[in-house]
Structure 1
């Protein structure tokens, strides 16, 4: 096993600080500031992004795990199975540091720890209040569509987020009390937004000024925990106990406990798009089990389950890397960069013919390269959470249509297909028709004045009314994520000098200036991200993309099962072939072959599908 590289602070080892790399990183930052990576030809643009990624690894990975702690989560004792199996809670991914990235460990940061602002009421609730920002700048009057993609991008993103992170269930005590203006129609005064749960491992004797921290109740690893659970109990409930398979929505035995409090359809955020993705990849797991059983008939239930889980998780990571992300940021340079993350600059064809031709991640991609934490123990970060607040992707109105002939089946609102109602729609409408409807409907663009109205008046399963737009603004303030200009400075980007500099829309510039009383430094991160001028082909902001440059590759680089253990000896030859040979399109057609006409000729399942009229809706 390759020993991982660690250091006391931000990454400083080897090539990352050699003279050639110092030249590359400084040159990349110069070109990016003077011209912009997106305005360069593809090859210089790729080199610029490479240099930016190295610089971000050097300067924007900060560990919170070394801060004083009590009673951190304890991984199970080491066992031989940990060398070849993912654990339910994410422990033992790094065999030298088995707690790293497991459920219940802290979020890291992409900003220096001394730059984390404390969650003082005067800052969290300061003018403009989160509710004022929601009403004035985020409310959707009509859908602003992202016409280059389809609504599966929204379903997929939430499906991924359910794997990556959760701060847990908010306590009901001491809610934030958001002041309201006299003309605000909100039914309760003041508006109450529950707090993010405290870090249960925080040492009460920590010195004053110790940065605030929170824990991720999910595993930090890209391990498909949204399908398989984040602990042994959840995982056992999902499994049938036969041939490695897991329960499906409609197999006659619910994969969830009868206790309503543990029913995921009653967890805030559950909706039809998420249910569809869960269903599709539960079926994919079982298909992988059947494939592995045919290749290795002597394997029992446990071996089939563990190999199929590895393969399914890797396929999800591949789809996100080379299909979902290039669809939503479809600039020619980023498309090539993302494909290089998986296959290297040598490309997919060379990989398929010869496999890895180099140990370098640049030449042959990250999967199968040596793992590297870049001097900082792996975790997801609060800034990563903040830039993934992309609720505008979700439509308010849903026109469900038949895959066979495009006839209208029913009209739904987001309210109709959320919560337990999502399962009712899934039970009464053919899944192929639902997938077709999502594939031919545009999502929203991640921009101002495009937040789903239903989510601004969202009734939680516990009856509590919530404005998720206001909550998103408040969360970044509460968790010490910097405001927009400071965020850009910490990423070595030029801050907005004025409201006109922030956005290319003069009317929006006036609105933002009015809401923030003329102070550009007060603009919240999410508002700035939504207001930015977008690079060509982008459905979200360039500033957010900087965190993706860093964290999208880090989730692969740090994970032993995508690097050192991404081998036929661990996955099996049949499992490795499954990952290589499949895509989102093949997954869809395997389980729903009736979608073939809608997908004919497409190379990416997240772009608008064909309709009988030959165009998306």
Structure 2
């Protein structure tokens, strides 16, 4: 079957055979489930589902009236071969697409993105949903992966999206049950900032701005403002700031790393590793191009690092957390195509088709909708159960504990936790994360530390209740309607949703017996997961469309993914580098622990465990 020319929506195949194919894929998926099919057929069905989602589940919010269009910097020829700080000019024919300060898109129709009433936001009580359905009584582990998957995801989210700082006036007020030990009554939750570009503020559909760039551009390293980028750079040899001991300078209090309340030590090794990796790329490029100055080296290295992070997430992190055989093949095909890595490395692209040779280097596609990340994408990535409450920090040399009792997440959170790095070697912290399991994304597995999380400013938050409230506040439909909008069947009752009579009874009590009231996050956590999945199949539908869209709408990951832009040396670095090689380049002492792990996000090996405590 050959691919037709793109139709007016920008890349869809609209002939009758393709429509029949998409419809058939949907029918097979609903009746049997893609994950229960033989591998070749599962891949065919997933491809059809992706094409259908591209046609029906990319929604443009820029069509909603605006009084403040994005202010795009003037065109500069440099934008042709380097990423801008604010994300502008990635798409040359739509220079504001993906900029910091532009709207989130939608994966569901705008008609479903209503503006809920106060009662719809606070009832049933998000706090009671948290207490009754989310509370962890003991870690339910995701045993196929290691605890690095949790900070990696949070680190990615810091690149992808933020709704900005909440206003302090007129918070949501949540009434509490008599036996609720919460320290203040009522519980107060700050609102998500309104969209200031709306002339009809307060009207449906609800829209919000992303204060980060929407692109996969490593803005958590390089910043989304000129000020933060200048703070990170040395302006010598293209390099970023690193102390003589290999650690990063302590960020200023207003830096995004420190200013956001979610900071914890798990983010530090990733920020440090990829800052040092940037400098390693600069050194490699300086050897290859000795006449290049600081700016050229910095910009080429940034391109390489941003693409490397996208590659690691696509072909390593995601296949680790959704390790069904079909999704492992499909995610690797997003990068290399069905032709595979070996043929791509040996012969280059065999075709313009992303199916055959992967998305990087293929023609850029927008599917008729201006590029943005979406509210639904942000919603399904609320995966706090991945985070353990306790961390058993150990030495990588002999597996001995640093102290008898584990460290709590609270101890490892906030600016005060940075003092631990004076006695905790980075290699040991990485080893500890690599040899422990995260939590499964399921009910009754939300970290207790995050249900009573104390922010640096002293405010106490129940992040499970906040997550639930945010979905409602932002007009993301509840679970049953969410599935219908994805052309999936909604469950008729609680036991059909969960397959667990006791859990179904708990959910029914919380929601007054009304399955339609089940919150999106609760439904996602409750439903049956495909084999090898650490999260839900419904959430996976959003990933099917958005995982490839983040690649195929980005000029620097499609038509400008070339040696002329990245350099031939940069392209070789990308082809040869994995998460394992990044870790071992900067911490070769971890080689014994990682020697048998095929993927850096799968459990590492302990070299002779002992329960004895030690001091580093």
TM-score exceeds 0.5: yes
Match 1:213 to one of 203, 207, 214: 207
Compared with structure 1, are the counterparts of its residues 599 and 555 closer, same or farther at alpha carbon in structure 2 (3 Å cutoff)? same
Task: Report the alpha carbon displacement of residue 370 of structure 1 after superposing the two structures with TM.
Answer: 0.3
Q: Match of 2:266, SS? A: helix
Compared with structure 1, are the counterparts of its residues 84 and 460 closer, same or farther at alpha carbon in structure 2 (3 Å cutoff)? same
Superposition RMSD in Å: 1.8
Q: Distance in 2 between matches of 1:535 and 1:257?
A: 41
Alpha carbons 2:7, 2:13 under 8 Å: kept: no
2:523 counterpart of 1:554: no
2:282 counterpart of 1:285: no
Compared with structure 1, are the counterparts of its residues 254 and 430 closer, same or farther at alpha carbon in structure 2 (3 Å cutoff)? closer
Q: Which stretch shifts more, 385-394 or 115-124?
A: 115-124
Task: Report the alpha carbon displacement of residue 611 of structure 1 after superposing the two structures with TM.
Answer: 0.6
Alpha carbons 1:178, 1:192 under 8 Å: kept: yes
Q: Distance in 2 between matches of 1:589 and 1:254?
A: 18
Q: Which residue of 1 aligns with 2:540?
A: 545
Alpha carbons 1:247, 1:253 under 8 Å: kept: no
Matches of residues 162-561 of structure 1 in structure 2 within 5 Å? 162-204=158-200, 209-248=203-242, 255=249, 258=252, 260-262=253-255, 264-410=257-403, 411-561=406-556
Alpha carbons 1:175, 1:192 under 8 Å: kept: yes
Alpha carbons 1:344, 1:363 under 8 Å: kept: yes
Task: Report the alpha carbon displacement of residue 116 of structure 1 after superposing the two structures with TM.
Answer: 1.0
Q: Distance in 2 between matches of 1:63 and 1:548?
A: 18
Q: Which residue of 1 aligns with 2:614?
A: none
Alpha carbons 2:431, 2:590 under 8 Å: kept: yes
Alpha carbons 2:162, 2:211 under 8 Å: kept: yes
Task: Report the alpha carbon displacement of residue 446 of structure 1 after superposing the two structures with TM.
Answer: 0.3
Task: Report the alpha carbon displacement of residue 614 of structure 1 after superposing the two structures with TM.
Answer: 8.2
Q: Which residue of 2 aligns with 1:98?
A: 95
Q: Distance in 1 between matches of 2:11 and 2:82?
A: 31
Alpha carbons 2:338, 2:358 under 8 Å: kept: yes
Q: Distance in 2 between matches of 1:614 and 1:538?
A: 29
Q: Match of 1:408, SS? A: coil
Aligned pair count reads 605
Q: Which residue of 2 aligns with 1:603?
A: 598
Alpha carbons 1:533, 1:541 under 8 Å: kept: yes
Q: Distance in 2 between matches of 1:602 and 1:133?
A: 38
Alpha carbons 1:267, 1:419 under 8 Å: kept: no
Q: Which stretch shifts more, 427-436 or 416-425?
A: 416-425
Q: Match of 2:402, SS? A: strand
Task: Report the alpha carbon displacement of residue 185 of structure 1 after superposing the two structures with TM.
Answer: 0.6
Task: Report the alpha carbon displacement of residue 114 of structure 1 after superposing the two structures with TM.
Answer: 1.2
Q: Distance in 2 between matches of 1:35 and 1:524?
A: 25
Task: Report the alpha carbon displacement of residue 67 of structure 1 after superposing the two structures with TM.
Answer: 1.3
Q: Distance in 2 between matches of 1:118 and 1:460?
A: 29
Q: Distance in 2 between matches of 1:75 and 1:225?
A: 18
Q: Match of 1:44, SS? A: helix
Q: Distance in 2 between matches of 1:265 and 1:249?
A: 18
Unaligned runs of 5+ in 1: none
Q: Distance in 2 between matches of 1:338 and 1:485?
A: 27
TM-score using structure 2 length: 0.96
Q: Match of 1:529, SS? A: helix
The superposition leaves residues 326-377 of structure 1 with CA deviations (integer Å, 9 ceiling, x where unpaired) of: 0000000000000000000000010111010100000000000000110100
Q: Which residue of 2 aligns with 1:61?
A: 58
Task: Report the alpha carbon displacement of residue 240 of structure 1 after superposing the two structures with TM.
Answer: 0.3
The superposition leaves residues 494-537 of structure 1 with CA deviations (integer Å, 9 ceiling, x where unpaired) of: 10111111012221111111111100000000000000111000
Q: Distance in 2 between matches of 1:286 and 1:14?
A: 38
Q: Match of 1:177, SS? A: strand
Compared with structure 1, are the counterparts of its residues 117 and 366 closer, same or farther at alpha carbon in structure 2 (3 Å cutoff)? same
TM-score using structure 1 length: 0.96
Q: Match of 2:192, SS? A: coil
The superposition leaves residues 388-411 of structure 1 with CA deviations (integer Å, 9 ceiling, x where unpaired) of: 000000000111000011011133
Q: Match of 2:283, SS? A: helix
Compared with structure 1, are the counterparts of its residues 202 and 172 closer, same or farther at alpha carbon in structure 2 (3 Å cutoff)? same
Task: Report the alpha carbon displacement of residue 261 of structure 1 after superposing the two structures with TM.
Answer: 3.6
Q: Distance in 2 between matches of 1:149 and 1:254?
A: 28
Matches of residues 137-152 of structure 1 in structure 2 within 5 Å? 137-152=133-148
